[in-house]
Chains A and B, each alone.
Chain A
C-alpha cells in the first residue's frame, strides 16, 4: 500500500508531461472500455430481440371449435426485409389473450402496426393492399423485436382465415422462430469481435503502460537504487496504470452510455435496438470496472520489471537485448496446424469442424495470431540489422539502426494495425461461410411473381429493375377438372422467352431458334413422357377482360439445355417465343420470372427494386429464405462495427505510441539536426522506421490471415472455397494503412530546432 501511495504521489507530483501522459492513458483506456462494453452488450441486444420475438409467438392448435379465436401467421419478403403479418379473427374463446405490445386484439377491419410499418404505409399507400383494414394504433415496443421491424396485427373475420387459421391458445414461446443470429454463428461472431476489439485493446493498454518508458524507467531505477524492493518498484509503477485504467473505465462506461443513446436513435444498417436493450448490465460494469484495472495492474508491473530487476542497466542505458525466438515457435506451430487443415482441402476428405477439430483449429488460429505478434520483433530485428549493415542510404541506415535496437517498441507501434488485418481476413471467412450456407449454390437467383398481382405497367417496369439480367413468363397448360380421372392428362409448363433470354437464365442451351415453339430437353432430368412431338396443349391468355386460348402443338424441334439448380427454368418443358402470344395478351394465371446474379448484395438490390415497383406483390425467391438474408445483414453490420472499433483502437495505439517515441527521441533528433541534418531527412528516417516493419507485419498478416481463413472455410462443411476474391480488398486496406501511417509519421519531426531539448542542467 505504501508503494501504491508513493506511486500516486509521484504521478500527481510529477511534471506537466507526466500528467498529460496520465490523461492520455485514461482517455485511451476509456475508448477501449467503451468498445469493450459494446462488444459485451451485443449478445444482450440480440437476446432482447429474440426474447420479444419469442414472447409474441402465438400458441395455437390446428383443431378449432366454433367459438375459438383464429390466428394466421404470414411472413413475406418486403425488399430485403421480412414483413410479418398476424391475422386474428376474434372468437368467444381466448379473445382476452393479448400479445405483448397490444392492449386488446384487433376487431375485424382494425390494423395495429409497428412504427416502421406505419411509416411505410404513409410513404407508400399501395402497401395498404397487404394490410386490409384501417390503422387503429401502433404496436408497443414490448411487442417488437426491434424498432425497425415490419409487423402488423390485422383483425379479420373467421370465414376469411377459416381454412388456414389455427385456434389461439395464448402467446409466447421460450425460443424465437428466427433468432437475430443463430447461436452457433453467435459463438464465431463473439470470437471474431473479441479478436477485432479485445486484442487491439490489450495492445493499446500495453502501449499506454509503456509511454515515456525511458524517462519513467530511469525514475523507477532511481527508486530501486535508493532501496525500494523489486516488488515495491513494480507496485509504484502499477499504481499509475491502475488509477489511469480505473478513470478510463469510468469514463468509458459514460461514453458507452452516450453511444447507446445516440445509436438507438440513429441505428446501424440492419441492426436497431431500444435503449433498454443496450443498457449496461451488472456483469458488464463489473468486468469494465474491475477487469480493466486488474489487467492494468499486471501490465504496469510487467512494464516495470526491467527497471526493477536491473536498475543499473537502465541508468546507464544498456544495449537492449535481442528479441526472443520463442514467438517464432508459436507461429510455426500455429501455421503448421492451419496449413495442415488447408491441405485437407485438396484431398477427397476435407477436415470437418466437429470433435477434436473444434478445439484444434481455433487453437491453431489463435497460435498463429499470437505467434505473428511475437515474431514480428524478431523478424524486424533481423531485417533491420542486415539492411543497416549493407545499405548505402543514410536514411535507411538510421531508420534500421533504430529498429535494430528497439524492435519491441517499433512493434508496439504497428501490432494493433497488423492484428487488425489478420482479424479482417478471419471476418471475411465468417461472412463467406454465412453466405455459403444461406444462399443457393447456383450463380443465378430467380424471383417469381404471380402475374395476377402485377399490372402491365408494373411488369414492364420490373424488366428495368437494376440487377435483373433476364425475364420471362411461365405458364401451365389448361387441364380439364372434369376430365375422366382414369386417363392421365398431360400438363405442360411453358417458358415464354426468346433464345437470348433463355440463354441468360440457364447454364447452357443448344439448338434454340427464335420464333419457333420448341421442346426443352434437359439430358440430366428424366424426360416427361407427355412432352413429345405431336402433343397438343392449350394455354389460356387474357387481354383485359377477354379470355383467349393459345393452342400449341409440339414439333420435333428441341432445345437441349442445362438449367441451374435450383431455378424456375428447370421445371419448364416447352419454350414458347413471345411472338406466339397475340398482341396485348398475357397468361391468365402464370408467373413473371426475373433472374439476377445470386450475389447477396445483388439479390438485396433486386428485392428492393421489385418492392419499389410492386410493393404488395407476393414474391417467391427460389432457394432463398429472407430470414437468412436478414441474419447476414446483422452479422455484416456487427463485423463492420468490430472492424471500425478495432481500427479506432489500433489507430489510437499507433498514434499514441508513435508520438510518444517521437517525444522521447526529441533530444537526439535535435542533436542530429544541429550537426546539419535537414528536416526532410529526419522525416524520411521517421517514416521508413515505421513503414518498413509495418509493411512486413502487414504482408505476414495477409498471408497468415488468408491461411487461417482458408482453414476455417475448409472445415466449414460447405463447398471448399478459397477466398481469392477477398485478397484485393485486404491488400488495398493494408496499402491504405501503410499510406496513413507514413503520412501520420511525418509531422512527428518538427522544423524548429530547440537547443533547450538537449540541455539537462
Chain B
C-alpha cells in the first residue's frame, strides 16, 4: 500500500501513528485486534521488534556494525543467539545480492547497497508489516527502481504487508493499492 502526498501533508505522521510511535490526536490504531494506545511501552517495543519492520529514507544503518550485524539486529533484539541470527541475515543478504558485503561496514558500501541492507534488516525477522518512509528517496531513479522491486518482491514472497510513504508517483505505482494524503485526509487514489 502506498501513501503519497505533498511535503507537510502528514503522510509520515500517519505512518508513525500506524506503527505505534506517535499517538493519534483522534481515533485509535488497532493491530491484530489490539488497540496500540492501550499497550505499555514494553509491549509496543515487543510488537515493533517482532511484528513490524522499518525502512527509513537514509537507511539509518549503525555505522559501527558490519552489514551482517546490521541486518541481524532485529533478530538479536528479539533475543536470538548470535550465530543463528547472523546465518538468517546472511540468507536474506544473499537473496538481495549482498552476500559478498557481509563483513563490510556501511561506510564501505554505496548508497543503493546501503538501502538494500536496510530492506534486508526490515524483513529478516519476517514481520507482518513493514513501514517504509521514503525508502528510495535518497537514491537515483535507476537505483530506486531496482531497490523497490527487490524490496516488494521479497516482502510478497514472505507474505509481509508493506505500507510505504512516498512523493514519487513511480514508486507508488508499484504498490497494490494507492492512497493520497491531503490536508490530513487520506483518500484512495482517484477519489474526488
Contact = CB atoms under 8 A, between A and B. Distances in A.
Contacts of A401: 62, 64-65, 69
Contacts of B7: 761
Given A319-B105, A760-B58, A674 B48 contact: yes
B104 to A, nearest CB: 9
Contact of B62 (A672, A678, A681, A758): A672
Given A317-B63, A319-B105, A404-B64, A755 B77 contact: no
Interface in B62-120: 62-65, 69, 73-74, 76-78, 81-82, 105-108
A397 B48 contact: no
B179 interface: no
Contact of B107 (A316, A391, A668, A674): A316
Given A671-B56, A755-B22, A676 B137 contact: no
Contacts of B137: 761
Interface string A392-410: 1010011001101110000
B46 interface: yes
B74 A675 contact: yes
Contacts of B105: 319, 405
A681 B41 CA distance: 13
B77 A675 contact: yes
Contact of B46 (A673, A676, A679): A676
A677 B41 contact: no
A195 to B, nearest CB: 34
Nearest to B82: A392
Contacts of A668: 60, 62-63
Contact of B41 (A316, A751, A755): A751
Given A397-B69, A675-B77, A760 B41 contact: no
> Which of A391, A394, A406, A673 has the most CB atoms of chain B within a 10 A radius of its CB?
A394
B134 A676 contact: no
A354 interface: no
- How many B residues touch the partner, as a band? 35 or more
A671 B77 contact: no
A398 B45 CA distance: 18
Given A675-B74, A675-B121, A676-B74, A759 B12 contact: yes
Contacts of A755: 12, 16, 21-22, 133
B107 A759 contact: no
A318 interface: yes
A392 B82 CA distance: 6
A761 B48 contact: no
Contact of A674 (B21, B41, B63, B78): B21
B53 A675 contact: yes
Contacts of A681: 77
A735 interface: no
B145 interface: no
A519 B134 CA distance: 102
B50 interface: yes
A671 B137 CA distance: 17
A673 B58 CA distance: 16
A675 B63 contact: no
Contacts of A760: 57-58
A286 interface: no
Contact of A319 (B41, B49, B107, B134): B107
B50 A758 contact: no
A668 B121 CA distance: 14
Given A398-B65, A401-B62, A675 B107 contact: no
A295 interface: no
B54 A674 contact: yes
A719 interface: no
A406 B64 contact: yes
Contacts of B19: 674
A364 to B, nearest CB: 37
Nearest to B121: A675
A529 to B, nearest CB: 86
A675 B62 contact: no
Contacts of B53: 675
Nearest to B83: A392
Contact of B77 (A317, A394, A404, A759): A394
B42 interface: yes
Contacts of A667: 60
A663 interface: no
A679 B41 CA distance: 9
A402 to B, nearest CB: 5
Interface in A89-114: none
A581 interface: no
A593 to B, nearest CB: 70
Interface string B111-143: 000000000011000000000011001000000
Interface string A402-427: 10111000000000000000000000
A659 B63 CA distance: 19
Interface in A181-213: none
A761 B81 contact: no
Contacts of B42: 678
Interface in B8-63: 12, 16, 19, 21-22, 41-42, 45-46, 48-50, 52-54, 56-58, 60, 62-63
Contacts of B107: 316-319
A262 interface: no
Given A401-B65, A676-B49, A759-B133, A671 B60 contact: yes
A676 B12 contact: no
B64 A676 contact: no
A743 interface: no
A668 B59 CA distance: 10
B73 A675 contact: yes
A200 to B, nearest CB: 28
A675 B49 contact: yes
Most chain A beta-carbon neighbours within 10 Å: one of B57, B63, B108: B63
A152 B16 CA distance: 81
A318 B48 CA distance: 31
Interface string A679-699: 101000000000000000000
Contacts of A317: 63, 106-107
Nearest to B13: A755
Contacts of B12: 755, 759
Interface string A1-27: 000000000000000000000000000
Nearest to A676: B49
A758 B45 contact: no
Contacts of A673: 45
Contacts of B133: 755, 759
A661 to B, nearest CB: 12
A673 B44 CA distance: 11
A567 to B, nearest CB: 66
B62 A319 contact: no
A394 B48 contact: no
30 contacts: A316-B107, A317-B106, A394-B76, A404-B64, A405-B63, A406-B64, A668-B60, A671-B60, A672-B62, A675-B49, A675-B52, A676-B45, A676-B48, A676-B50, A676-B52, A676-B74, A676-B77, A676-B78, A677-B45, A677-B77, A678-B41, A678-B42, A678-B45, A679-B41, A681-B77, A755-B12, A755-B16, A755-B133, A759-B57, A760-B58
Going nearest first, the 3 A-B pairs with the smallest beta carbon separation are A676-B49, A671-B60, A401-B64
